[in-house]
Structure 1
Amino acid sequence: MPSASPQEVWRAALVKLRDARPELCRKWFEEIEPVALERGVLTLRLSDATRRRYVERALAEPFRAAAQEATGMLVSLRFVDDEPQRRNGAVQVRRDAVQRSLARPTLQDAAVASTAASEGSDPLEEEDLALNPDLTFETFVVGPNNRVAHAAAEAVAEAPGKGYNPLFLHGGVGLGKTHLLHALSRQALTLRPELRIVFVSCRTFIDRFFAYLSARRMQEFRRAFRRTDVLVIDDIHDLAPHNQIQEEFFHTFNTLRERGSQVVLSSDASPEEIPQLEERLVSRFAAGLVARLDPPDFDTRVAILQRKAELHDLDLPLDLAKRIASCYDDSVSVRVLEGAINRVKHLAHVTNDGVVTTEIVHEALGDLPEQAPTRCSIDAIVAAVVEHYNVSLAQLQGPGKTKSVVLPRQVAMWLAKERGGLSLEEIGGYFGGRDHTTALHAHRKISRLLHSDPALRGEIEALQLRIRRLSSPVR
């Protein structure tokens, strides 16, 4: 393709990329504009700096390989964006002084930090903030499991340091904490480009601490972390075993709060549940807003699958999204659901020109129920619970508060919401005229236990099989 235009080369490269790496492809790749092809360098323009930085770090090599395969020649890539280059003002200086997020730094990352510390350069002052363009508020699916966390993250992005400070997000792996951290940071910078944001994993904070400590440059380390407008740290529970670093972070936290800076943290556990975390840090983390993210319910799983499919430029019919959602219980993470979309997309691409069918879903994910259990009768749910736990309907609807009755009642309420499709008001009314908040508490408690209690997960799975035998789905 020696005389091809930049547009022809990029179109051909996208075809090659979809064939070789379909899991990488996103709908917004179509918005990338090829602007020049000169002396073997293909220049691509992206809509904003966030996407440009993400492509440079995560996709440059696959893009280059696709372009070379499309042209049969050696091709280099150059990425530009449409954002104004305000290099003479304070805005650009401060935007250049942000830290990229490293979810799991490697030994090489630690070595780079150590070398930088010993040579007198500061990686925090040299790296741009690398936010994943997939992780925005627009792509985050809000449901009963994450509504509070989402609203709090939006409020902090609108006015950092003014409300919930610190904001502490916690929940199991793959439930959307990191997504909200990226979305919050991106939105805050969109509204106030002059903000200085430091966004790192706790492991990166630890590695940098030891690197700068060994280089006797702790004042520079502290300056980098304590003179920021917003400090975002993912997986803060990794602090727990390190008393020396807990001490350092305690003073960093206090300094930031005193200067009115925003602190945003995420963890697999709530502050009081992090083992070996000092009480003074527990109290400070809990002093702002602590918001939990739970696994998604059935309706939220369907919405997540549709949103992920749209992001991956995959046409996923609603009935197939429901069938996929029905393969998983309420302990599933968003990450697992995205993995399911990737498998379906790959198989559809290589076997059926990208068209998703029931057969494709079946082959990609294994055996599926004949029909998604969107609604089952309350009579079948109660009958299964009564039989399994050896309690009576009168006990479930009565005032009893012993554990032998409360747990079956809460399980029945959870099933009535998830498999019966009833509202919280209907559920509370059915089970003894209780308030809807009682039903909400039961649903949240069982959802949380499903993530941490394998025995209860087994009981719920057995109950659902029993319910399917007792009741045909309600149309």
Structure 2
Amino acid sequence: MKEKQFWNRILEFAQERLTRSMYDFYAIQAELIKVEENVATIFLPRSEMEMVWEKQLKDIIVVAGFEIYDAEITPHYIFTKPQDTAVSQVEEATNSTLYDYSPKLASIPYSDTGLKEKYTFDNFIQGDGNVWAVSAALAVSEDLALTYNPLFIYGGPGLGKTHLLNAIGNEILKNIPDARVKYIPAESFINDFLEHLRLGEMEKFKKTYRSLDLLLIDDIQSLSGKKVATQEEFFNTFNALHDKQKQIVLTSDRSPKHLEGLEERLVTRFSWGLTQNITPPDFETRIAILQSKTEHLDYHFQSDTLEYLAGQFASNVRALD
């Protein structure tokens, strides 16, 4: 009984302290395993969540500990959940019902996915301006269609949105090689739709997009102001994938509520999952980006040169390139 009271109190404090999206992402997905000898064992499904718990939530564990146990409770984080055999079997059966990775159709050749191999999580430089977007992208790539669906990432040009989309796709294919994945800019999706419509091959178009496990759409703002038929088809594609619990990830240069020229029902669906912003990199992150981009070159950049460049281009990563 005390453990339940203790955990509920922590969640109450967390809800007051964190934003809604952060609370949903970092607090709700955590789980108290046990409290023993003044140590609270807390399961975190992703290791990157520990930073937030340590920096922003550690003190509320102490407060809740004194309230419920009249003692100082120290957190201990684990990233592999202790498995009870019976529970594990139930969870496994439930997960297989929620999402079946076995494709009904042949896998898509990598060359047809639209992905670029060079964009991965390993070479994405994380900073204060993108930490939450990276965490959300990692969560989606680990629990396809079971975490945030859709995931909507927005921000100005050259901040890494395309990189993250490709990283999600590449990570999924690394772990599930036969998953049906497609990355495509919204403008290309529109052109593809119009071409199939002109040729009278709409069934082929529907089969291509509605049989995917993961659809990655870049620059969805390009859909704004397009004809009703175009928005209607994307709406139907979105619904078909979402109803089958297939993952959708979208990027835009602005948040859903600021997308003009789109049907309200589309904007509403874009907000169903998690909406996350990316902001320009700070000075330290820009230096780290430059170091990453120059480390494989045949010549060496002095640190003061990198610092100078980082000070000249603050708007986006593309400018640093």
TM-score w.r.t. the length of structure 1 is 0.44
Work out which of the residue numbers 242, 253, 256 in structure 2 matches 1:271: 256
Query: Residue in 1 aligned with 2:71?
Result: none
**Are the equivalent residues in 1 in contact too, given 2:121–2:167 (CA < 8 A)?**
yes
After superposition, the CA RMSD in angstroms is: 1.9
**Do the aligned residues in 1 keep the contact of 2:114 with 2:182 (CA within 8 Å)?**
no
Q: 1:94 aligns with which of 92, 95, 107?
A: 107
Q: Which residue of 2 is the match for residue 333 of structure 1? A: 316
Q: Does 1:227 align with 2:240?
A: no
Deviations along 1:126-149, one digit per CA (max 9) or x if unpaired, are: x53243233111111101100011
**Aligned mate of 1:188, from 151, 172, 192:** 172
Unpaired stretches in structure 1, ≥5 consecutive residues:
1-88, 99-126, 339-475
Equivalent residues in 2 for 1:164-313, closer than 5 Å:
164-242=148-226, 243-312=228-297
SS in structure 2 opposite 1:326? helix
Q: Tell whether the 8 Å contact from 1:94 to 1:195 is kept in structure 2 after alignment.
A: yes
Alpha-carbon distance in structure 2 between the residues aligned to 1:227 and 1:252: 10
Matched letter for residue 262 of structure 2:
L
Give the residue type in structure 2 aligned to 1:201. Answer: P
Superposition pairs of residues 13-24 of structure 1, within 5 angstroms: none
- SS at 1:152 equivalent: helix
Show structure 2 runs of 5+ residues with no match. 1-101
Runs of 4+ in structure 1 off by over 6 angstroms are 89-92
Amino acid at match of 2:156: G
193 and 291 in structure 1: CA distance in 2 versus 1, 3 angstrom threshold = same
SS at match of 2:112: coil
Give the 3-state SS of the residue equivalent to 1:231 in structure 2.
strand
Cα distance in 1 for partners of 2:299, 2:148 equals 37
Indicate conservation of the 8 Å contact 1:200/1:233, yes or no: yes
Structure 1: how far apart are the matches of 2:261 and 2:105?
A: 41
Does the C-alpha gap of structure 1 residues 260 and 90 become closer, same or farther in structure 2, counting only changes over 3 Å?
Answer: closer
Percent sequence identity over aligned pairs: 41
Q: Which structure is larger by alpha-carbon Rg, 1 or 2?
A: 1
Q: How does 1:310-329 map to 2 (within 5 A)?
A: 310-312=295-297, 314-329=299-314
CA distance in 2, matches of 1:132, 1:250: 26
Offset at 1:170?
A: 0.6
Match of 1:148 among 125, 132, 143: 132
Asked if structure 2 preserves the Cα contact closer than 8 Å seen for 1:175 and 1:294, the reply is yes
Deviation at 1:310, TM superposition (A): 1.9
Displacement of 1:278 in angstroms is 1.2
Assess if the C-alpha contact under 8 Å between 1:154 and 1:184 holds in 2: yes
CA separation of 1:91/1:252 partners in 2, compared to 1, >3 Å: closer, same or farther?
Answer: closer
How many residues align structurally? 219
Which whole-Å CA distance do the structure 2 matches of 1:92 and 1:258 have between them?
18
Aligned partners of 1:141 and 1:304 also within 8 Å: yes
- 8 A contact 1:241–1:276 mirrored in 2: yes
Higher relative contact order (CA 8 A, sep 6+): 2
Contact 1:91 1:194 in 2 (8 A): no
Counterpart position of 2:147? 163
Mapped partners of 2:104, 2:149: distance in 1:
24
Distance 1:131 1:176 in 2: 14
Q: Report the TM-score, using the length of structure 2 for normalisation.
A: 0.65
